[in-house]
Structure 1
Amino acid sequence: MVTKTKNPRLYSRLQIAAQQLRKVTDRQLVEAAGITAPQLGVLTRVAAAKELNQTSLARDLRLNDSAITAMVKRLIGLGMLEKRRSETDSRAWVLKLTADGQSAIDRAGEQMLSINQKIDAEFGPGGLDNFVDELNRLIAICDAEQAGEGEG
């Protein structure tokens, strides 16, 4: 039995909100730091890791390998990332943040704080935290569904 929802346009609304937020955020981040939101995600993930290869990065950010390859290539070209041999496995290559990459993160961080403050003000006290919690629940549901697809 299919349960009817009060708002069957949820997927559409989430998609539109995500696209609009990304456009606004990307425009502001490019002006402030010369990078887009997905590029900032790559840089911050690499900065947080001791050693990280492209495959792990793609998995962590839930992007496909070809998207990560293109993004990493662009960030290397911008001098924000570099590839080095792994310290634990001389056959493997890992990504490392450069000083320019750290500088971009720092400049972007100031801009992201401004964007988050505007959204937080719109949602009200605790509203944004609750919304993020609900989105995390939705992500978990989708993760569980995807994990179930591999079985059977």
Structure 2
Amino acid sequence: MEDELTDYTNRFRTSFELTHRKISQSVLSELNSELTAPQLFMLAMIAKENSPKQSQLADKLGVKPSAITVMIDRLVQSGHVIRKHHETDRRIVLVENTAEGAAVLAKAHEVQKNVITRGLSQLPPDELHIFVNAFEKFTSFY
């Protein structure tokens, strides 16, 4: 049984990683933006964290603040992000998506939804039901 579970684990990891990569590539291709996948991810993190400090982003991503600074610099230069000082403590610098950053993120979410829909539509209804229910159940374990 353990060998079988190891086999399923390896198959799942391979399939999951390949699917994630292919979906990301399709989204980037259809989005037709100059942004990279990590930059889109950063825009999503900034939106989720609601005007975070750069150090907060670094902590969330498990990287050094200098790595975040370089990426934020590029997003500022491209007009997708702004830096602003905290209202009560001017020493604290926050990052925020601009209207352009929010718009490209919204478009990326829509494109991603369409890409995933295309893939899921290839499954017969009974397999689609099983797949989504099993994946939701699997997700609940974490």
TM-score > 0.5, shorter chain as reference:
yes
**Which residue number corresponds to residue 74 of structure 2?**
74
**Which residue number corresponds to residue 135 of structure 2?**
131
1:38-84 deviation digits (Å, cap 9, x = unpaired):
33232123224443012222333x34235534432332232111211
8 Å CA contact 1:119–1:128 kept in 2: the answer is no
- Give the aligned residue type for 1:17: F
The range that moved more, 83-92 or 37-46, is: 37-46
- 1:91 is displaced (CA, Å) by 0.7
Q: 1:136 to 1:88 in 2, by over 3 A?
A: farther
Note the 1:48-127 alignment, pairs <5 A: 48-60=48-60, 62-65=61-64, 67-121=67-121, 122=123, 124-125=128-129, 127=131
- 1:22 is displaced (CA, Å) by 2.1
Runs of 4+ in structure 1 over 6 Å off: none
8 Å CA contact 2:79–2:100 kept in 1: the answer is yes
User: Taking structure 2 as the reference length, what is the TM-score of the superposition?
Assistant: 0.71
Q: 1:33 to 1:14 in 2, by over 3 A?
A: same
- 1:25 is displaced (CA, Å) by 1.6
- Give the aligned residue type for 1:40: L
Is 1:22 matched with 2:21? yes
1:81-137 deviation digits (Å, cap 9, x = unpaired):
121112242111111111210121122122011122134434612633531441453
Where relative contact order (Cα < 8 A, 6+ residues apart) is larger, the structure is 2
8 Å CA contact 1:33–1:108 kept in 2: the answer is no
Query: Number of aligned pairs?
Result: 135
Q: Name the SS of the counterpart of 2:100 in structure 1.
A: helix
User: Taking structure 1 as the reference length, what is the TM-score of the superposition?
Assistant: 0.67
Unaligned 5+ residue runs, structure 1?
A: 141-152
Aligned-residue RMSD, C-alpha: 3.0
8 Å CA contact 1:83–1:93 kept in 2: the answer is yes
Looking at structure 1, the residues matched to 57 and 15 of structure 2 have their Cα atoms a distance apart, in angstroms, of 26
**Which residue number corresponds to residue 4 of structure 1?**
2
- Give the aligned residue type for 1:29: L
